Structure 1
Amino acid sequence: MIRTLALAAFVVAAPAFAQDAKPVLNDPAVLAEMGREAARLPLLASDLARTRAQLDASIRDGVNVPVPKDPGGGATHEQHRRNYQAIYGGGLLYRITGERKYADHARALLLAYAKLYPTLGKHPAASNQVPGRLFWQSLNDSVWLVYAAQGYDAIRDTLSPADRATIDADVFRRMADFLSVETAASFDRIHNHATWAAAGVGMTGYVLRDPKLVTRALKGSDGSGKAGFLRQLDLLFSPDGYYAEGPYYQRYALQPFVMFANAIAKNDPAQKIFQYRGGIVLKAVTTAIQLTYDGYFFPINDAMPDKSLKTDELYQAVAIGYAATRDPALLDIAKWQGRTVLTDDGLAVARDVAAGKAKAFPFASKLFRDGPDGDQGALAVLRDGPGDDAQVLVAKNTAQGMGHGHFDKLNWLLYDHGQAIVTDYGAARFLNIEAKSGGRYLPENDSWAQHTIAHNTLVVNETSHFAAKLKPAEAVAPKQLYFSGTGDTQASIGEMTGAYPGVTFRRTLAQVRVRGLGSPIVVDVLKVKGNAPARYDLPLHYNGHLIDTGFALKSNVTTRPVMGAKKGYQHLWVDATGTPDATNGRVTWMTAGRFYSYRMATPGVQVILAESGANDPKFNLRREPAIIQRLDGAKDATFVSLLEAHGRYDPSTEMVSGSASAVASVTQARAGDADIVTITLVDGRRVILAVADDASPGGKHSATVAGRAFDWTGPIGRMDREAGK
């Protein structure tokens, strides 16, 4: 059942607004303290100098408020983006430094917008998104409003009544009404676009002392509570603080959530917004940090792989989260970021980092349930330790992720020694690079990146999950059957029914620590039950340069066939094929001076070595390699694979060590009610994993393996044997 409200208890009272125009979003006295202390606080000193340099350059350039015409990345788009940053930064710098020139510059920009904005209609470069007025999509207008409202708040009491009335009416009220009334359908969505709009409208309400705007932001355009900020908090986050669209969009959506919540806390403290729904806003901050490797967000769904915790959204989230909780682990993240924000919350972070109060952030193996009630699958994160070079396995057993989701249930990613090893394509997009479709999503986002073959999971009959259609994909989520994040065998089990008619598949991913090996071995058991013979493809997209294979290859050296005609297959070149036997199904590649051996123990498979980039005349796709296991004519099947990290290559000394795999073989057999995976090491030791059909944690199981009785509890059993035993 989806919760109907916590909102019923969250009564939106008219705040006791001051009758003057003094700031309500940041305490001007604290900002003045920042000006006096910044020189001795490294996190603030550099950011203050950077912001001052940007504003001084903006002042020299003068007021430039052009008529909008360009899409993302174009000249007018970028100028309006620079302008909201100048309004925001100018207001804060005025309060921090006391220098009137910064307030005057923000005032001049806002008065120019007061002349321009009433003349604007639909943006001329609008495409398939809800059009804005300043920008090609209304989302960017909302972002402009969130930032500009904060800058305006800082200088509003410095303006003449006439200027204040003009800017109030012709910029902020007009924009708030455009976002919440004229485009009400978008404002009332449960989506990150609507979150930004709600935050902008609500913060404008506080600045203008207008409780009607605040209520509209909190409870939707009609005030019913069926939409709005609080309903978004109810429906967009799971109880674990996982955001519906995945980590990349959790990063992006987090900023309006934390900024508006902070404004509510400062202006309506009786509402206890940071306690709402079990403290979901603050939980979302720490969850977002957990969903990173070496600071970079796991790039599932429509994600860009280069987004890290060093971004405006997380600078704000860490500062606001720390001010609300005083959690010293957030100071550790601020130290890694190397900066904070020029707000009263940022001053608290900078002071306490300088005072040595930071404690290590507790990165750990965790299960993050998906869905408002936590029953729509999960993202399973298995970490072999807290360090930046630790191995991290991510099992994507989550729900669709709305319109930004991809069709790839039970996908997985792997990181090791600071590198992405098993990769996810993310979005086909060059964000804000005008030459690439105006910075929008590329056509290949639909024809390649969203399709299942672009990911590391099962494809049936060369079609994508749910036939790549959004509505049926949103109706069915995977089941997270089991998770264990402790001990020498950490594991996740997920199951998907409904991605293909008549097909159920279950995936067990285990991170297995073995004495004497530098990193855990990853074991992947994917079981398929179908209602008719089919073609099953299981791709593995990896980062690295192929070294060798254990089986013979038929390589395409003079021509390069394309793998298929549609559903993403048209974008894969076939470089080589081979048919391994039970003993030689291995592919080894090298990434950043480390070797990775992928072993396949799936009877009857053909192996296809492929690369993305076919049918791509504008060179929009990254060229990335893939290994595809293909099984034809199967009804039920069990794919068993193993990935091992080993050895080093040091190019400076030209020294190579451990380039040969420590694994001699991997085999799979049935015993009792379980699949038995036997890993034999070169030194003769064996690691035996049993994966039971019954995934309940208390289930009792037994099997006879190599003449020995094997008993275990729960879905995963492990038995290690020394050489000769």
Structure 2
Amino acid sequence: MRFVPTIFAAFLVLVSVPCSAEGQERPRLGLTADEVAEINASPDAPGLFGEALASTRAAVNPWLDETPDIPLPADAGGGYTHEQHKRNQRTMLGAGQLYRLTGDEDYARLAARMLDAYATMYPELGEHPMKKEQSPGRLFWQSLNEAVWLVTVIQAYDAIYDWLPPGRREHLESGLFRPMAEFLSRGQPQTFDKIHNHGTWAVAAVGMTGYVLDEPEYVEIALLGLKKDGSAGFIRQLDELFSPDGYYSEGPYYQRYALLPFVLFAQAIERNEPRRGIFEHRDGILLKAVDATIQLSYNGLFFPINDAIKDKGIDTAELVYGVSIAFARTRDPSLLTIAQRQGRTVLSVDGFRLAKALQDGQATSYPFRSRVFTDGPAGEQGALMVLRSGEEHGHQAVIFKATAQGMGHGHFDRLAWLFYDNGNEIVPDYGAARYLNVEAKYGGHYLPENNTWAKQTVAHSTLVVDEASQFGGDWKRGMEFPPRPLMFATGDRLDIAAARMEGAYDGVRFTRVLAMLKNGPFSRPAVVDLMRVKSGETHRYDLPLHFRGQVMSINRPLDASTQSMQALGQDNGYQHLWARATAQVPAGELLQLTWLNEDRFYTHTALAGDGMNLVFAQTGADDPDFNLRHEQALLQRVSNADDHVFVSILEAHGKYDGAREYTTESASNLADLVYTADGNRELVRITARNGAVATLALAPDSGPDDAHRLEYDGTVYEWTGPYHLFDN
């Protein structure tokens, strides 16, 4: 069913009469007359801006002479009415922008017709028939979508405000904008005052509406919360959701999602109340957040930690806006390279200036680099540590997840790691179990397997104790126990990070060190992984390594399940793993697993401790609806142990070219891997087949001036500080 406007059809004869706002310059959010003049003074629309203009026209023009399709709400996310209202918001915004840029009143008429229809329909709506339990909407199944819609559509109204006669503006404001702003704020205080991305979208929507409607009350509650005391609202969100390094507590996927309301509302504040200095707040935290969002990516895709959809990357619309706004404030030429990779910009003066600078050849390389991103408002709740072998395409990257829980979207994966190489995810994170906006898959919701698999500890490359998930799978408990970073250092020869976790399992403490040897005994960088577990009681320890690629070889005989398979366990994610094969490795010997990913080989070598068994597992068990991707893992398993040390190294090697029919270095270059320790001093010695040796000396609890000495096999190693890399 369509809802077609009728009440205000009489206004169509009046739309050519311009009406000016009194007291303040308009538009309040979008392109001003001076900015339009600057753009139109250019002899041609530069590069990305011209493409954005053409694509917006192509999307909007077919609707100029059509009756707006404004269906009554019926469907959940991914359904027809849901998607149509999203299309309509983009059409209205595009029409408003084109009106500002061209002066063509046909665009203003289109936006006005659609707004009229919504203003007539909205007061009659109750809760959405497919409402989400936590925060139901009216136009959409959840109020989050309603807030996103209002952030977009208030910009369209702002663009044509002066063109509309006062009576028609009154209809739109009383029928649509004020009721929606009231619904999203006082109507849902539990969401509006929440320090969470849902709250960010709500306050941005209401605050931006306040500026356009000359309603300071809306602006005040958006900035300070419903109590107007700063206990909630936009400023509090800036203070609590970002660390001092610009890292967002829920991880990069939700960082990019929350980035758009943050930067759009900040830009509205700056335009209307520059005295607030919003972009200088917390030492420029919003600009740091834009930079952090870019840094938390590899080969264009965000690191998929926590509830992440793995397809999202730096070309997402939220970051396109973020980059244009950041460039406008910093003129950082490296941002132009990111814009070039995004392949698009926005129809704003910021987008125009960015496109012109890019066309003029001002772009410089963006410095992807090894960095630590602290977590928590004061940087006191762990950190995400990123080790990179370089900046070039295909460089290696290690992501060490020693962050806080990340609220309800966080996973139970303290001290997990991811590994990238050759442009690909090699040691992956599953991300979220969700098919966003695919109605056939649980209505586009997070799938049940998001809780039963994707969030569980065994779904990640980190320690599992007694086949249970960290914190018993209770995220609120997890919020109370952040990891403790012990060290982070970078250099020409290696980058290294270490962190410790206590509280994830009662009575168990585990410490992990990840070191990227950039100039070691192999032709390519390699990653040393040391996990030390301590407990006063005996446990079963599993250390999964999730890996992407086709298995080439295993240096141990396998007991493989070839006729039938059993699930690896009953709960905590184990019920979703098929036990494909098992093997035993005598203590002191090496396990070597080699696989092929595209054209490169990878070998994971693990030094066996006492009583270590291996389990090769694959997802797909207890999955009657085929919701899970088929992925594989190797579990190092130790039973009846109190203290244990897992030591391994991951190396990339060789090349496979099926087209030219040749293969080089398909076997590991490692000849030996040795571990020894004395108290808190440890050595990992790596010997390559060519005879080259590298010894990593560790004392991760020590200070920078502490001296250490450890003897092994007749060689004395002396060093100062928490680590050193020796060539013998």
Which category of TM-score, normalised to the shorter sequence, fits these structures?
A: over 0.9
Match for residue 8 of structure 1? none
Q: Using the alignment, how far apart are the partners of 2:272 and 2:24 within structure 1? A: 13
Q: Give deviations 1:39-69, integer Å, cap 9, x for gaps.
A: 4411111111111111013335530111101
Q: Give deviations 1:163-193, integer Å, cap 9, x for gaps.
A: 1111111111111110011101110000000
- Taking structure 1 as reference, are residues 443 and 61 closer, same or farther at Cα in structure 2, changes over 3 Å only? farther
* Map 1:485-634 → 2, pairs under 5 A: 485-515=490-520, 517-581=522-586, 582-603=588-609, 604-634=611-641
- Taking structure 1 as reference, are residues 534 and 50 closer, same or farther at Cα in structure 2, changes over 3 Å only? same
Contact 1:391 1:519 in 2 (8 A): no
* Map 1:416-455 → 2, pairs under 5 A: 416-455=421-460
Q: Give deviations 1:453-509, integer Å, cap 9, x for gaps.
A: 000100000000000002110111000110012231211101000000000100000
Give the letter aligned to residue 118 of structure 1: P
* Map 1:162-561 → 2, pairs under 5 A: 162-515=167-520, 517-561=522-566
Q: Give deviations 1:294-345, integer Å, cap 9, x for gaps.
A: 1110000000111011111011000011111111111111111111100111
Give the letter aligned to residue 208 of structure 1: L
Give the letter aligned to residue 461 of structure 2: N
> How far is the alpha carbon of 1:639 from its aligned partner?
0.5
Contact 2:36 2:100 in 1 (8 A): yes
Q: Does 1:148 align with 2:141?
A: no
> How far is the alpha carbon of 1:709 from its aligned partner?
1.6
Describe the SS at the equivalent of 1:587: strand
- Taking structure 1 as reference, are residues 150 and 469 closer, same or farther at Cα in structure 2, changes over 3 Å only? same
Describe the SS at the equivalent of 1:677: strand
Describe the SS at the equivalent of 1:181: coil
> How far is the alpha carbon of 1:574 from its aligned partner?
0.8
TM-score (norm 2): 0.95
Describe the SS at the equivalent of 1:150: helix
Q: Aligned match of 2:698 in 691, 695, 704?
A: 691
Identical positions, percent: 48
Q: Using the alignment, how far apart are the partners of 2:357 and 2:124 within structure 1? A: 48
Which deviates more from structure 2 when the two are superposed, residues 61-70 or residues 533-542?
A: 61-70
Match for residue 3 of structure 1? none
Match for residue 129 of structure 2? 124
- Taking structure 1 as reference, are residues 678 and 73 closer, same or farther at Cα in structure 2, changes over 3 Å only? same
Describe the SS at the equivalent of 2:237: helix
Q: Give deviations 1:347-369, integer Å, cap 9, x for gaps.
A: 11111111111111111100000
Q: Give deviations 1:518-549, integer Å, cap 9, x for gaps.
A: 42110000000112110000001111111110
Q: Using the alignment, how far apart are the partners of 1:209 and 1:190 within structure 2? A: 26
Describe the SS at the equivalent of 1:562: coil
- Taking structure 1 as reference, are residues 431 and 695 closer, same or farther at Cα in structure 2, changes over 3 Å only? farther
Structure 1 runs not aligned, ≥5 long: 1-15
Q: Using the alignment, how far apart are the partners of 2:722 and 2:608 within structure 1? A: 21
Q: Using the alignment, how far apart are the partners of 2:22 and 2:383 within structure 1? A: 42
Q: Does 1:662 align with 2:669?
A: yes
Q: Using the alignment, how far apart are the partners of 1:125 and 1:135 within structure 2? A: 8
Which deviates more from structure 2 when the two are superposed, residues 29-38 or residues 577-586?
A: 29-38
Match for residue 13 of structure 2? none
- Taking structure 1 as reference, are residues 518 and 337 closer, same or farther at Cα in structure 2, changes over 3 Å only? farther
Describe the SS at the equivalent of 1:88: helix
Q: Using the alignment, how far apart are the partners of 1:438 and 1:31 within structure 2? A: 42
Match for residue 30 of structure 2? 25
Which deviates more from structure 2 when the two are superposed, residues 300-309 or residues 51-60?
A: 51-60
Contact 1:32 1:97 in 2 (8 A): no
Describe the SS at the equivalent of 1:475: coil
> How far is the alpha carbon of 1:19 from its aligned partner?
4.6
- Taking structure 1 as reference, are residues 568 and 655 closer, same or farther at Cα in structure 2, changes over 3 Å only? same
Q: Give deviations 1:21-52, integer Å, cap 9, x for gaps.
A: 54443323323543564844111111111111
> How far is the alpha carbon of 1:580 from its aligned partner?
2.1
Q: Using the alignment, how far apart are the partners of 1:602 and 1:639 within structure 2? A: 8
> How far is the alpha carbon of 1:667 from its aligned partner?
1.9
> How far is the alpha carbon of 1:150 from its aligned partner?
0.8
Q: Give deviations 1:567-625, integer Å, cap 9, x for gaps.
A: 00000011111112333401110001100000111313111111111110111000001
Match for residue 651 of structure 2? 644
Give the letter aligned to residue 685 of structure 2: T
TM-score (norm 1): 0.95
Q: Using the alignment, how far apart are the partners of 1:367 and 1:22 within structure 2? A: 41
Q: Using the alignment, how far apart are the partners of 1:486 and 1:638 within structure 2? A: 26
> How far is the alpha carbon of 1:705 from its aligned partner?
2.2
Give the letter aligned to residue 96 of structure 1: L
Contact 1:32 1:95 in 2 (8 A): no
Match for residue 6 of structure 2? none
- Taking structure 1 as reference, are residues 562 and 180 closer, same or farther at Cα in structure 2, changes over 3 Å only? same
> How far is the alpha carbon of 1:697 from its aligned partner?
3.0
Q: Using the alignment, how far apart are the partners of 1:485 and 1:58 within structure 2? A: 55
Describe the SS at the equivalent of 2:182: helix
Contact 2:323 2:335 in 1 (8 A): yes
- Taking structure 1 as reference, are residues 107 and 585 closer, same or farther at Cα in structure 2, changes over 3 Å only? same
> How far is the alpha carbon of 1:698 from its aligned partner?
2.9
Q: Indicate the RMSD between aligned Cα atoms, in angstroms.
A: 1.5
Give the letter aligned to residue 588 of structure 1: T
Give the letter aligned to residue 636 of structure 1: D
Describe the SS at the equivalent of 1:519: coil
Q: Using the alignment, how far apart are the partners of 2:612 and 2:533 within structure 1? A: 14
Which deviates more from structure 2 when the two are superposed, residues 112-121 or residues 56-65?
A: 56-65
Q: Give deviations 1:121-164, integer Å, cap 9, x for gaps.
A: 11111133311111111110000010001111000110011111
Q: Using the alignment, how far apart are the partners of 1:665 and 1:437 within structure 2? A: 49
Q: Does 1:676 align with 2:683?
A: yes
Structure 2 runs not aligned, ≥5 long: 1-20
Q: Using the alignment, how far apart are the partners of 1:327 and 1:659 within structure 2? A: 43
Q: Using the alignment, how far apart are the partners of 1:28 and 1:575 within structure 2? A: 67
Match for residue 11 of structure 1? none
> How far is the alpha carbon of 1:17 from its aligned partner?
8.4
Contact 1:414 1:423 in 2 (8 A): yes
Q: Using the alignment, how far apart are the partners of 2:555 and 2:143 within structure 1? A: 54
Which deviates more from structure 2 when the two are superposed, residues 535-544 or residues 577-586?
A: 577-586
Contact 2:148 2:201 in 1 (8 A): yes
Give the letter aligned to residue 450 of structure 2: N
